[in-house]
Chains A and B, each alone.
Chain A
Amino acid sequence: MDFRFATTPIDAAALARELANPAAGGTVTFEGRVRNANEGRAVVALEYEAFAELAGKEGERILAEARGRFEILAAVCVHRTGRLGLGDLAVWIGVTAAHRGPAFEACRYLIDQIKARVPIWKKEHYVDGASEWINANGDRSAPGPRRTP
């Protein structure tokens, strides 16, 4: 399976070695990491939850779409679940291609589609002790009531 979940830290170097291919003139990787702020609030940790059975199927469909749309050799995506601290790797995507153009384009396509379609949820924990499921309350400019633990 090229779309995977990890419950422990993602080993980016091992994944890059897995993608190594003498036909690959270009390898593009994307690392999504836990940022220290969102929407003006100081973030201390993130919690990811996935509907693993369906997320795996949808992730594989997105990878297949990328292989169909772009001239690439291989693509892999690993997404973390569980609680992550600042700077931790949340998602890793690697794409190989003979040439750099399709590798860049496919990598961008993959992260955008994964964020939009795969049933994974992210809860932000803030410095003030509050927490919130991202996107759950709709329009980001008019968030719903803040919930506290």
Chain B
Amino acid sequence: MKTIRVRYFALLREQRGQEEELVQTGAATPAELYRELAGRHRLTLPEARLRVAINEEFGSWTAPLCADDRVAFIPPVAGG
């Protein structure tokens, strides 16, 4: 198990009810982590519509997660 700091934005933040949390997880990748959190918190956005950021940079769903990584799940953007 490792500790990951997870940040939520926009629709995911509202569905989670908070902006960030520390998660104790055995997830090996962001994809596994999202499946775990989506199930626990009833997050409705499918992984295919999200991007992932690791330590404030766009990352891969299949990258290995390290202890104390900061992960953010990024809903479809809508700036401008």
A54 lies within 8 A of B53 (CB): yes
**Interface range, A side:** 20 to 34
Given A54-B72, A121-B9: A135 and B79 interface contact (C-beta under 8 Å): no
Smallest Cβ distance from B48 to chain A, in angstroms?
Answer: 10
Contacts of A116 in B (CB 8 A): 77
A122–B74 alpha-carbon span in the complex (Å): 13
B79 lies within 8 A of A48 (CB): yes
Number of interface residues of B (CB under 8 A): 19
A123 lies within 8 A of B10 (CB): yes
Contacts of B11 in A (CB 8 A): 121, 133, 136
* B79: nearest chain-A partner, CB-CB: A120
Smallest Cβ distance from B76 to chain A, in angstroms?
Answer: 4
A135 lies within 8 A of B57 (CB): no
Given A32-B80, A79-B79, A114-B80: A49 and B57 interface contact (C-beta under 8 Å): no
Number of interchain pairs (Cβ within 8 Å): 74
Contacts of B13 in A (CB 8 A): 49
A111 lies within 8 A of B80 (CB): yes
A114 lies within 8 A of B79 (CB): yes
Say yes or no: is A115 at the interface (Cβ < 8 Å to chain B). Answer: yes
A40–B54 alpha-carbon span in the complex (Å): 38
Which 3 pairs of residues, A with B, have the shortest CB-CB distance?
A120-B79, A121-B10, A115-B80
* A–B Cβ pairs within 8 angstroms, 26 of them: A48-B79, A49-B10, A50-B79, A51-B9, A54-B53, A54-B58, A55-B79, A57-B56, A57-B57, A91-B79, A111-B80, A115-B77, A115-B78, A116-B77, A117-B77, A118-B77, A119-B9, A119-B53, A119-B74, A119-B79, A121-B77, A122-B79, A134-B78, A135-B75, A135-B78, A138-B49
Further pairs besides A58-B58, A136-B45: 14, Cβ < 8 Å: A32-B80, A48-B79, A51-B7, A51-B53, A54-B53, A79-B79, A79-B80, A91-B80, A117-B77, A120-B80, A121-B78, A133-B75, A136-B75, A136-B78
**A contacts, CB < 8 Å to B:** 32, 48-51, 53-55, 57-58, 79, 90-91, 111, 114-123, 133-136, 138
